[in-house]
Amino acid sequence: MQTRKLGGSNLEVSAIGLGCMGMSFSYGPPKDRQEMIALLRTAVERGVTFFDTAEVYGPFINEELVGEALAPFRGKVIIATKFGFDLSGSDKRPGAAGLNSRPERIKQVADASLKRLKVDVLDLFYQHRVDPDVPIEDVAGAVKDLIHKGKVRHFGLSEAGVQTIRRAHAIQPITALQSEYSLWTRTPEKEVIPALEELGIGFVPYSPLGKGFLTGKIDENTTFDSSDFRSILPRFTPEALKANQALIDLLGSIATKKNATPAQIALAWLLAQKPWIVPIPGTTKLHRLDENIGAAAVELTSDDLHEIESAASKITVQGDRYPERLEKMTGR
């Protein structure tokens, strides 16, 4: 597995990371703990060194899972986690939970995450969503304090807008921005990616496979359990899934030529955009893990990229990526 550096920092990680959320949360009931521990350890054996979790996944149980699974590899892997949701209420789902990035809360989360992850320092600590009630300068200042105390190494933001990124970066340099980015969610290209390049900030796309859609295994007949987050997403209605099948056809045609899968082409396309982009596809299945890792070896030529761009420009993706309430939490 090749490695990449996130932006101008010295944080070096595997070119493809592993998003761990779905092991405990959001895509149906939590998966078998021992099976997920085995999968995480296999990922390390396959060369993955970058793992993504968050306090709110579960809540708490995903960090505990990742902490237990990766304990034998301490110092050899990078674990990213996140703060920013208010988990004091009875409904602790992101979106249902409110936001809380007050400095005292950030410090409480850091201490709790250190214990659950069984580490002495958090490698990368993201603000999960921008909190409009707390100035971003206060948030960056709180993380800066944690860095000075040796509890955190790197600061990150998630789904932040350009002005917020600039203001935060002026207080405490940001190592990485994590936001959704894929062939069917290209919003960051307009303003965010140029700003990241200018400031020397790495980019970590989550849902790089479109929450599973870009694997080509989901169509308008796919049904989602009520415990599956996709059941409330406008882009996963049968009508939208049918309309967006054109993207799968495009990926499939390139995949056939490259002796690859649609998912591998989708990930290879992201890797080809910038050398400081590190996607974090999530999976709970070993064969998918191997497929995703294999994407790092798929080389897309300039002709391939031009062909994808030309075809994709003619496809209008149908359906918003989030319901309005959740969409309002992004891009601030």
Is the separation of the CB atoms in 297 and 268 below 8 Å?
no
Is 243 inside any structural domain?
no
Instruction: Work out the number of other CB atoms within 10 angstroms of the CB of residue 198.
Output: 10
How far is it, in rounded angstroms, from Cα 103 to Cα 99?
A: 13
Is 224 inside any structural domain?
no
Q: What is the pLDDT of residue 95?
A: 60
Q: What is the pLDDT of residue 72?
A: 98
Domain count of the chain? 1
- Any catalytic annotation for residue 57? yes
Is 259 inside any structural domain?
no
What single DSSP character describes residue 55? Answer: T
Catalytic residue, candidates 57, 126, 181, 206: 57
Burial of 148 (0-12, 13-18, 19+ CB in 10 A): exposed
Is 76 inside any structural domain?
yes
Is 0.95 surpassed by the pTM of this model? yes
Is the separation of the CB atoms in 57 and 85 below 8 Å?
no
Is 278 inside any structural domain?
yes
Is 14 inside any structural domain?
yes
Can you list the positions of beta strands (E) in the chain?
3-5, 12-14, 18-19, 50-52, 78-83, 122-127, 152-158, 174-180, 202-206
Q: Which domain holds residue 77?
A: 3-210+270-298
Query: What are the pLDDT tens digits along the chain (332 aa)?
Result: 999 999 888 899 999 999 999 999 999 889 999 999 999 999 999 999 999 999 999 999 999 999 999 999 999 999 999 999 999 876 766 566 799 999 999 999 999 999 999 999 999 999 999 999 999 999 999 999 999 999 999 999 999 999 999 999 999 999 999 999 999 999 999 999 999 999 999 999 999 999 999 999 999 999 999 889 999 999 999 999 999 999 999 999 999 999 999 999 999 999 999 999 999 999 999 999 999 999 999 999 999 999 999 999 999 999 999 999 899 999 99
Is 225 inside any structural domain?
no
- pLDDT tens profile 70-128: 999 999 999 999 999 999 876 766 566 799 999 999 999 999 999 999 999 999 999 99
What CATH number does the domain containing 185 carry?
A: 3.20.20.100
Q: What are phi and psi of 205, to 5 degrees?
A: -70, 125
Is 95 inside any structural domain?
yes
- pLDDT tens profile 281-292: 999 999 999 999
